[in-house]
Amino acid sequence: MAFIDYYKTLEVDKKATEAEIKKAYRKLARKYHPDLNPNDKEAERKFKELNEANEVLSHVENRKKYDEYGENWQHGEQFEKFQQQRHYQGNPQQGGFDSSSFSGEGDFSDFFESMFGGRSSSSGGRRNAQFKGQDFNAELQLDLKDIYTAHKRTLTINGKNIRITIPAGVENGQQIKISGLGGEGSANAPKGDLYITFSIENHTNFKLEKHNLYSSVDIDIYTAILGGEITADTFDGKVKLIVKPGTQNGTKVKLKGKGFPVYKKEGEFGDLYLTYQIQIPKNLSEKEKELFTELAKLRTS
């Protein structure tokens, strides 16, 4: 297969930042997404190339190897280990043996292959090096309300549909690893792994800090003064609250266990903090103004 320049695929410069790479990928992925280009083989091919490029360039270590080794980047780490071992073997003073005992470069190749799990092929005594498959990286965008409860979701990774469970309470930027869902290994070596990074957006009226939620509740001035019962929103429904007489603007109340779920701790939740915002009536009638005037006189007399 011909070498593909991942930077050209994403239409970015080799000095592009992580943010620029992410932005370019999102833009092009939307353009060539199969749902927007049904029965378009070229768009499907382009979409797969975009995913492949993003999986490499969005991963710091993979990008570093790709920049150094190009199309052979997946074997860069093994090659470096081999070079170090080769240097060690060629220095008897360091406890190694003299590399001159090998008859030629082919011997080095055989030795390198055997160092990494090589096995004899059916065609003869030649060994084939085993390399673990490429790790895949994907970003999953979710809304805060999506991760309040655990749920299953189907992802398309390199053209394959993968159904995974999204745990409740995952955090923005958190990464999970799914073993064996990466690229195929060579010579029966293990498959690579799939790394999913969660990007959480918040389109709710709640602010999330750690596992606690924060919001505000409007109450009218009469309830604040006289006390009473109000209905307030929580993340999973409504609750009734008793307002004490003489409640001041900015008063905070804590609803224990009404916050956000704690990741991988079933049944454990943070708390919800509500701040009362007292609403001052507008467009008072003449009668209302008279009554408020009387109240003011009573308070100052």
Written out in words, the top-level CATH class of the domain with range 207-300 is: mainly beta
Are 6-123 and 136-201 the same fold in CATH?
Answer: no
Beta carbons of 215 and 260 less than 8 angstroms apart: no
pLDDT of residue 252: 97
pLDDT of residue 75: 65
What is the percentage of the chain residues whose pLDDT exceeds 90?
Answer: 41
Average pLDDT of the chain to the nearest whole number: 81
**What is the dihedral sign for C-alpha 22, 27, 30, 32?**
negative
- Enter the tokens of residue 177: 């690893």
- Taking 50 as the pLDDT cut, the residues of the chain under it are 1, 92, 94-127
Element housing 89 (H / E): helix 76-89
pLDDT of residue 59: 87
CATH 1.10.10.10 is the classification of domain 136-201 = no
pLDDT of residue 105: 45
pLDDT of residue 233: 96
pTM value is: 0.57
- Enter the tokens of residue 154: 């189907």
**6-123: CATH topology:** Helix Hairpins (1.10.287)
- Helix ranges, 90-183 (H): 105-115
| Cα–Cα distance for residue pair 130/146, rounded to 1 Å | 41
| Cα–Cα distance for residue pair 79/118, rounded to 1 Å | 14
Report the residue count for the chain: 301
Half-sphere exposure of 93 (CA within 13 A, CB side): 0
Q: Where are the domains of the chain?
A: 6-123, 136-201, 207-300
